Amino acid sequence: MKLYLVHCGFYDSEVCDGLYEGHVNYFVVAKLFEEAKANIKELFEFKNKKMHIDGLQEIRCVNGHKINLVYDVTSIGETQIINYKHRELAHKEIKE
């Protein structure tokens, strides 16, 4: 199994009459690229927001660390992502 990051776009009519495109990223595990793409297209939110796929990446290694997926029978069908609320703005240039 391989880990994929899928970058999806959508237009939300509730925000600025749908003028601007919003984006969301999904992680999906699949054997093949085509399977990953098909799995995303079956998500309720993908269908409900009439999303499209802007990009799909297979993730093999991050910062020198190989990705090793391990099947866990206690987590069947689950996705667990820990979100850390963090916002850091670029430093302002100090003029003398």
- What is the residue-level pLDDT of the chain in tens, covering all 96 positions? 999 999 999 998 888 888 899 999 999 999 999 999 999 999 999 999 999 999 999 999 999 999 999 999 998 888 888 888 877 777 777 666
CATH number 3.30.200 given to 2-58: no
pLDDT score recorded for residue 69: 94
Domain boundaries, the chain: 2-58
Cα dist from 90 to 10, 34, 94, whole Å: 28, 38, 12
The tokens describing 39, both together, are 């799995």
Please give the model's pTM, rounded to 2 decimal places: 0.80
43, 26 Cβ separation under 8 angstroms: yes
